[in-house]
Amino acid sequence: MKHTKRRAALHLGQWILAIGSAIGATLPVQAQNGPPGVLDPAFGSAGKAITDFFGASDQLRAVTPLPDGRFLAAGVVISPNATGNGSSPNVVVARFLPDGRTDPAFGTAGVFAFDHDGGTDEAHAMTVLSDRSILVSGVISTSSHSDFGLVKLTPSGALDTRFGQPSGAARTGYAIVDIAGATFHDEGRYVAVQSDGRIVIAGMSLVQQGSFRYRRATVARLTADGQRDTSFGGGTGHIVLPGFYTADPQTSDYVTGIALTQDGRLPAGDGITLVGYTDSRNMAFITRLTRDGQPDTSFAGTGRITTSSVTSGGQTTGASVLRGARIDSSGRIVVVGTANDRGFTFLRYLANGAPDTGFGNGGRSLVKLSTISHYDEPRALALQGNGKIVAAGYASTASASGAPQNDFFVVRLQENGFADPAFGDGQGRTVGRLSELTDEAFALSVEPSGHILAAGDALRVGTSQDDAAVLRAFGDPDRLFYDGFEQR
């Protein structure tokens, strides 16, 4: 039955390719295959594409493949601002062709940049809806403070004026959610769309504790057209979670991801699972909310669990920081982070929040490249269609001069939690040096072909400025189309 479905999908794909030019789409190229973990020589320069958008710093924080072989990337650029007073950090979304060049049919010469009020605007996450429109979440700032921000683009890279706050006859194309008040910062980060089209944004807001304010995990919900959803959070449209480090309320919690399925959706039931860590307290957390923002007590009894990094007898357990999460086809939560052993630390939990002791070594797996005196830092997690687990970030390696530098680092595990010997160097590892200076990956996704995209930034030689950087490595044959485009 599976092979019949695959053949049917292939015939459908050939039909779509045949009519692609008739609907104005860029025709995809046939995905090249090679050993898993090897960089794709047909992409960019030897598998690496570096782009300077505006002659200043560019940083990518999200990457999303499209069914036709192109992909989107979003982040922060320094570009001319809306006030006419110079340049500022602004939201950027770019669309790329399958070979790594920017797509001139998107935005302006392949790029959309957004500045709200001359302040700092940032994109941190992105999702593509079934009509090919694009939702980008992050920070939108006024002259005095930052708020949760959500920008919606048309498929061609323009503001969608059917979305967001009213502004005359048309809407603005963006939504701003102020949680902590007009003089305090809110930091929007991650976005997910519920099955009825409502939009969830997770991040941090400031809460008064004693004489100071500290970050707390915060979730806001908007309607499909970008209005604050007052049915969420008791009429406010948002929920601020209590601190995870109960021994001391004067600590800050950082949200580092919403756990989504392989194809970037919330699981059945639209439950909201957040991961993150408490700053400087050796504590990472996972918390699950119902679709309407209440603690999900079917998860660990309280809706939340914490883990800490403990080393005893030379053996390290747990994690101190979590950086990414996914929900696999069995409903288990796979997370990646760091601990005392300074590598990529993977943990897996059952759907009820219990540690999955059948994963790796007693529920934990470690992959490390650099020496014990250096940190290998994961920043993103993804799943392949065959259940294999991929993470990306950066590792400390030796430069041409012998001094340490950071390079893109991609790791793949088998579904059982052990390093995949078929990937990269035979120990589940691939290193990508995009420049002779610092390169760091912050985003990761698996293309419908099964190939792997890692995105971040590379420091430009002779400057203090970063350029947008993307790496493509061969993966395993995966899916012809994203399920999210077929089923949403």
pLDDT at 13: 39
CB within 8 Å of 393: residues ≥ 6 apart:
323, 344, 376, 377, 378, 379, 380, 409, 440, 441, 442
3-state DSSP assignment of residue 18: helix
Cβ(224)–Cβ(197) below 8 Å: yes
pLDDT at 168: 63
Q: How far apart are CA 96 and CA 102, in angstroms?
A: 4
Q: How far apart are CA 175 and CA 366, in angstroms?
A: 40
pLDDT at 212: 94
pLDDT at 12: 38
Q: Which domains does the chain have, with CATH numbers?
A: 37-487 (2.130.10.10)
Backbone angles phi, psi at 333, to 5 degrees: -105, 120
Cβ(408)–Cβ(352) below 8 Å: no
pLDDT at 463: 81
Q: What is the pLDDT of residues 145-203, one digit of tens each?
A: 899 999 999 999 999 999 998 766 678 999 999 998 877 899 999 999 999 999 999 99
Which residues in the chain come in under a pLDDT of 50?
A: 1-29, 480-488
Backbone angles phi, psi at 195, to 5 degrees: -65, -25
Task: Give the pTM.
Answer: 0.90
pLDDT at 170: 76
Query: CB atoms < 10 A from the CB of 204, how many?
Result: 25
Which tokens belong to 238? 């948002």
